[in-house]
Structure formats: structure tokens, C-alpha cells
A and B are shown apart, each in its own frame.
Chain A
Amino acid sequence: MTLEPQENRISPPAIAVIIPTHNRRDGLLRTLDALGKQELKPERFEVVVVADGCEDDTVALVRAYAAPYPLTCLEQAASGPATARNNGAKATRAPVLLFLDDDIEAAPTLVRAHLEAQTSGDDKTVVIGYLPTVLTGQEGLFRAALRGWWEDMFQNMAQPGHRFTYADLLSGNFSVKATTFWLLGGFDTDLRCHEDYELGYRLIHAGGQLQFAREAMGWHHERTDIDRSLRRKQEEGKADIVLGKRYPELRPGLVFSVLWKNRTPPPGGGVFWHLFAASSRLVCYAAFAAPGIGDAIARIARPLLDFLEQCRLRHIWRLLLNALMAYWYWRGVTTGLPTRADLDTFLKPVTVPGGADTEMVDLAEGIAAAEARINRTRPASIQIHYGAQYVGELPALPGAEGLRGIHLRAALATTLAETYGNIAEQYNGEAV
């Protein structure tokens, strides 16, 4: 790892932008250009690019780049983004670290928004920025679905009552205090995928306060296509087993548990659900018992997807896409759990030592009082009553932040609105 000398300065920059990159010199160039147009004065931040085993001219490009801000280029042998980010973080003395991916074109407000949110927060503040998707080139069902997935995620995070979980930590655009980052030991370099989820878990466990800042925005030049997505599924399956082994309480929420449940159609489900369940069972079986044949069929089925799209058979297209994704995900799972018996054992419910503390909330005391209490105690789960009547509950969610008053309010206003409203009317003796 070679280090470029930093400029002599009186005080270190307030925030360091750390960009791991691997053979994407054009995107990186765009990213560096966008960082040159920040509202925040260039003296206040610095940029550290970590070239992770780059075989193109990335390093030469960065070293020759005339940036208005301090720019450092580190080189490392191909070791993955986790190592690259850790090394980038080591190379700066800035108290705030902003991790940015090389396909993000920062809006002029990005760095300032992160810094402001971090300054008005405390040590535990983690700020996640917004990444609107730029779909370059073809449209098509997959690209629309992909953008939908991203935007839904940000829309959820932007909701006032959103309960942050480990999976909300997106390594493409987030900031954290350097002290907290190093207290936790940085990213886990053993993981090649979902290393951000893993860090997210440890952050939340250590009391990290995740928040979403829409102004901390960058355009995401998303180039993932179906094939890249399918390849990645295998990595994700493998990574999720590592996560599940290390943190057993996360298992019910990880994708393999969901896929496992999909094998049974919901009661009263129609033809579509039965087809879906049948295909879920088929791909799970094939991945474990007959991967050779499964792989061959998956490769043949791939062009069938394009044909279905041409024929405007959207629902079947989606069924097949989900089946292919699930298949490659299971293939990744088999690297960690070779047989179905292993999987069965793995999926057995795990009791969390110490049990989750469930707080009882009585709405008769008033919602404001209840909210204040929850904000103080931050319980893992709450059970809500109105006097003697049961209203509902907010169950414990592994890997999620402790509950806050706003979560109670959100639940009462949405999922529990009619139950709560009807009970409240009974108690008040009248409608309205």
C-alpha cells in the first residue's frame, strides 16, 4: 500500500470522503468532478481514493487529477471493498468519515449535508444519504423493478416512523464518526458482500443512531443488469450464512428464511401463489440435491426471460426472475450449509439469551406521556393497551434499533389506526 503525501495544513479537514474503486475509471472521473462542485469549501474536506487491484489506468488518472480539494490515492492488491474502505479510513485524520461509491455522482449539497447532520448529532450518529437512480441506456422490466427497489428503500427511510435496522446501512453513501468506526474495528474484511449489513448490525448493537438525510444526495449511475444481479445473488447467499452463523438472532429476517417460507402458499392463495410456492420448492431442491442439472437449466432459462418480456407476459416473467434469483442465492447458501439437513438445523428458532424486554404501554395515560417514556427506555418491543383492552404490539425485530416514541405514533396512525380508533371511541362514548 503506497501513500501519497498530504498537503501541509494547520488543521485536518472536518470530513474525509473515502472512495473504494475497482476498474471503473470513467465513473470515478465523474465522481471526482462532482466532488469539485460541492457547496462545502474545499478546505473543509478531503478525498481518499483507494484503488483496489485496478488493472486499468485508475491510479495514473487520480494521481494526475487536478482537484480543488486535497486528493489522496492509495493502491492495494485486490482485496475487496471492505479492506479498501478500512485502509482509506486509516489514511485520514478527519473526525468524520463519509464512504462513497465510485458510481455516485454527488449533488453539490452532499458533503455539506453529511457534515451538518454529523455536527448536530453525537458520537453515535450515522447518516445515510439519498441515492436517486439514474438508469442509463435500456429501460425494460428489470431496470424499472431495480429502480423501484432502491426508491422504496429510501422512501421507507424517509418516513418519520421508520424503524432503522442493520440492513439500512448502505455503504454507497453514509457517514460515521471516525472514533465510533474504529471503536467497532471498521468493516469486517472477511466478507466480500453484505459487509455493510454486518457493520450496520454492530453499529446498532452499540447504540448507533441511524438517520436519513435526503439532502445528502448523489445520483447513482446504476449499471446492474439481470446477469450481474444473478451472479451477485450467489455472493449474497454465502454472506447471509456467515451473518446468520455469527448473529443467530438475525436468521428469521435474512433472505433464506423468507425463501424457505415461500415454499408454502398462503392460505386462500390463488393459482399464482401455488405456482410461486411450487417454483420456490423446486429451486431449493435443485440447488441442494442436483446443482449440476440446476445450473444447466438456469442458464437455459435465462434467455427465456427476455422472450417472456417481449411477449408482455409480465407476471410469468416476474415468477421466472424470482425463481432464478432464488436458485443462485441457494447455491451461495450451499457453500456454508452443504445439505438440507444443515439448513433445517440452521433455521430452528434460536432463543435470545436474557430475553427481549417488552414494555407495556397504556394509552389511557395519554399518547404524549407514552411516547416520552418509550424515548427514555428504548425497549426492544412494546405491547399496547387502552385500559383493559388490547390494541396491538410492536414486536422485537432482530438487528433493529430500540423503539422510540415516534414508532408508537406511526403504528397507531397506520397499521393499528382502525383498532385504536374504534376502542378510543368506545371509551370516549361517542364518535369524533
Chain B
Amino acid sequence: MSYEVLDVDLAELKPEQEVDVSLTSEQDGAFVLIRHRTRPVGSLFLNRNEIASEEKGGVRKRLEAGAAGARVRARVQAELNWSDAPPTPKTTPVTVAICTRERPDDLRRALHALTRLQGDGYELLVVDNNPRTDATFAVVEEFAPHVRYVREDTPGLNAARNRALREARREIVAFNDDDAEPDPTWLVNLARNFDDPRVLCVTGLVMPRELETPSQVLFEQHSPFGRGFTRRVFAGPLVDPLAVSPVGAGASMAVRRTLPDLVGDFDEALDAGTPTRSGGDHEMFYRILAHGYSIVYDPEAVSWHRHRRTMEELIDTFYGYGVGVYAYWSRCLLREGEWRVLLYASNWLVRHQLPELACAALGRPGLVPLPLALAQLRGCLAGPWAYLRSSRRQEQRAT
């Protein structure tokens, strides 16, 4: 299974012009990010038959239909010179931080993309987390003097994030995963949302960089990073802080540098590099909302993520996701007294996980494949203990 990934701007097409899609013989179709005047309005999987159809302008019609309301809205707003989001700031006082470990090729690609960012006054920072070799250092040297290098030996993505916040020299810190490449406008579109003093975090739209292997396609189909094409503001006082799923992904987020002073550090017992595997971003989203602050999801801040290529890695990712969610819920329960995580856990199990498992076991198409569903459940079971272990380890390190 593989798909061609395309980025099509409908406004740039001439009248009656068709969308040209050429596939290799191995590809099953195309995945398209649909834009109107650079604004993302929808995405669509097109299979081979739909592309090769006889109908003139068939692909274009499908894309227009696929984006529907969002495209019309974008068109009208472009015509009227209007935006749902605040205006682009004149300067972007942002520290762009990449927390990375032993992925020099990915890092190099990410840094290439970051040096092409639009914006004025930003700095680039690489936090090398608990490295085994000096591969990361060597890559950063290739980009000297534009990129700062910092080494954080405490293992864990959240430890690296906290270090980035301490080392940052600008008011806003934007995190970009080492396997993600942002669009040139990514930074200005994140930064423009910080005018409102209640906003502590802004997340962006994450699209797949490539869909060349079955596991990449499965990931995009069953647990994509994208959260839709409408700008949304999650205001702490008005939403349930545990409902962090629609808020965004840590792979593309920006926070105020003063975040730790207002709501506390990222919890170093959570996320990649610790026994809890993930969940560090979700826990911080929860904490921001629980303290009454706001998070903005801005789909115009686009970045492209390279999903894991092999089936083994994908199963591991699903396992890690299960661990992370239950670990972050354990923290909420134990540290914040959020007994409602029990409701969330039972709701997820009964209304989603068990039906998915049943369908997968019965071989029904369209839902999560069995190995992935099982891996996620195994992860959930391991979650609480993983959090306790990780937490204890972190405390021992501190003393």
C-alpha cells in the first residue's frame, strides 16, 4: 500500500484546468492536502480508479467536494480580505526548538526546512537528549552559526522540552519534532495567536510527509495527527480539561516561555525516552486547560511528519500511545485528584477499544487492524505502573 502525497491549491488553478496526478505503477492512489490561497481546507484519499476516470475534471470536482464548506469559507474570506485568525505579527520572537536523539538524517532534513522559515527575529535551538554518539552534534555543526546546540543528559523528551524552555532567549518557544518539516509560514502562523494573554499554547496542522509503506498509510488512516481545518480556541474555563484529543499534537506546538512559572514544568516522568513512552504533551494540554488558560489550534500552521515506516515500529507506536495515555491519566488521578479519568478510561474502553477489537478480530475492514488494537490495549494495561516506575526514577535522580 502506498500513496502519492500531494499539496494542491485550488485557487492557483486556471478555470477548467484539471489537477494533474501521475502515479507510479506501485502506488494505489494519492493523498491530497487541499488548499485555497495557501489556506488548508481539506484532505482526501483518492484511489487509482478515481484518478484515472474518464470524466473530465473529475479529480478537481472531487477535491472541491472534499473540502466543501471550508473551501467556500476560505474563498469568501480571501475575497473580502478577512481572516479568522489574528493578523501576522511584524516580528516573531520565537525560539524554535528541536528535541532529538540519534536521528541525524531526520534532523538534517528538519533543519533545512527550518532555515527556510518566514519570520523575523527567531532563533534555532537543538536539544540533544541523552546522546550515545556525537552524530547530532555533527549535524548541528553543518548549520553553524545559525543553530545553537545544547546537550541534555536527563533522558526523556519532556526533560529536553524543559531544557529548551530554560535555554530559550525569546518569549515564545516552538517545538518541532526531528521527523517533521514545517512549511515556511508555519512559524508566523503559530506566533500570531499569542496576542491574547490567556493563550499559553498554539498547535498546528500535521500532515504526512510521505505514504510509501503500509504502516505509514495505516497510521494516517487510523491515528492521524491532523485535527481538522477550522481554527479552534479551547478556553480553559469553558471546556473539560481532560478532553485534550481535539487540541492538537505535540509534534507541532508553541508555548510561552513563561509556561513553567504559570502551570509548572513538563512532567519529566512522561513521554518518549521514559518508561511511559508518550503522553507528555497531552498532560501539559490538560494542565493548561485545568488552570483556566487557552490553547489555540491553527490549521494554517502546517508541518509534514514522517510516520514510522515499518510495521514493527507502528505496533510499537500504538503500544507506546496506550502506555502514554494511561500514564498521563494516572498522573492526573494521583497528582491532581482528577477522578473523572476513570470515566474517560471506561468510556474509551467500552465505546471504542472493545468494539474496535471485536471488529478487527472478526476481520471487518475499515477499522484498526488487530495487532495494532491489541498493542494499544497492552500499552494501556502497562500505563499506570509505567508512570509509577518512571516517577520514582525521576525522584531518585533529583535527590
Query: Are both chains from one complex?
Result: yes
Contact assessment for B198 and A151 in the assembled complex, using a CB-CB cutoff below 8 Å:
yes
Indicate whether B18 reaches chain A with its CB closer than 8 angstroms.
no
Proximity string of chain B (187-231) to chain A, C-beta cutoff 8 Å, 1 when within and 0 when not: 000000000111000000000000000000000000000000000
Are A312 and B337 neighbours in the complex by a CB distance under 8 Å?
yes
Q: B338 an interface residue at 8 Å Cβ cutoff?
A: yes
Number of interface residues of B (CB under 8 A): 33
Tell me if B58 is interfacial: C-beta within 8 Å of chain A: no
Contact A148 B238 (CB under 8 A): yes
> Of A23-31, A254-262, A412-420, which binds chain B?
A412-420
A413 touches B236 (CB 8 A): no
B80-A409 in contact (CB<8A): yes
Tally inter-chain residue pairs, CB-CB below 8 A. Answer: 74
A421 with B76: CB separation less than 8 A: yes
**Bound: A430/B11 CA distance, A:** 12
Chain B contacts of A412 at CB under 8 A?
76, 80
In the complex, chain A residues whose CB is within 8 Å of the CB of B73: 417-418, 421
What residues on A are CB-neighbors of B292 within 8 Å? 139, 141, 143-145, 147-148
Chain A neighbourhood of B236, CB < 8 A: 144, 148
A contact residues around B339 at 8 Å (CB) = 311-312
Q: Which residues of A contact B240 (CB under 8 A)?
A: 314-315
Q: Assess the A151–B15 pair: CB atoms within 8 A.
A: no
Q: Name the CB-closest residue of A to B11.
A: A432
Tell me if B109 is interfacial: C-beta within 8 Å of chain A.
no
Q: Is B148 an interface residue (CB 8 A)?
A: no
Q: A100: shortest Cβ distance to chain B, in Å? A: 20
Choice from B10, B11, B235, B291 contacting A139 with Cβ under 8 Å: B291
**Do A421 and B75 touch (CB < 8 A)?**
yes
Tell me whether B80 and A132 are in contact (CB under 8 A): no
Cβ–Cβ contact A417 & B338, under 8 A: no
B333-373 CB mask vs A (1 if < 8 Å, else 0) is 00011111000000000000000000000000000000000
Q: How long is the Cα–Cα vector from A143 to B77 in the complex, in angstroms?
A: 36
> Among residues 117 to 144 in chain A, which have CB atoms less than 8 Å away from a CB atom of chain B?
132, 139, 141, 143-144
The answer, yes or no, to whether B267 is at the interface (CB within 8 Å) is: no
Q: Mark A390-432, 1 if CB is under 8 A from B, else 0.
A: 0000000000000000000110111001101110110000111
Bound-state Cα–Cα, A367 to B11, Å:
21
Nearest A residue (CB) for B235: A148
- For B69, the closest partner residue in chain A by CB is A418
Task: Confirm or deny: B264 has a beta carbon within 8 angstroms of a beta carbon on chain A.
Answer: no
A413 to B81, CA, bound (A): 9
Task: Judge whether B80 and A430 touch: CB under 8 Å.
Answer: no
Q: Is the CB of B337 within 8 A of A432?
A: no
Q: Which residues of the partner chain A approach B336 to less than 8 Å between Cβ atoms?
A: 312
Give residues 362-410 of A contacting B (CB, 8 Å).
Answer: 367, 409-410
A229 sits at the interface (CB 8 A): no
Known contacts A141-B292, A312-B337: A413-B198 contact under CB 8 Å: no
| Selected A-B contacts with CB under 8 Å, 15 pairs | A141-B292, A144-B236, A144-B292, A147-B198, A148-B235, A148-B238, A312-B339, A314-B241, A412-B80, A413-B77, A413-B80, A413-B82, A414-B84, A418-B69, A432-B15
Closest 7 CB pairs of A and B: A144-B292, A421-B72, A413-B82, A145-B237, A421-B76, A417-B73, A144-B237
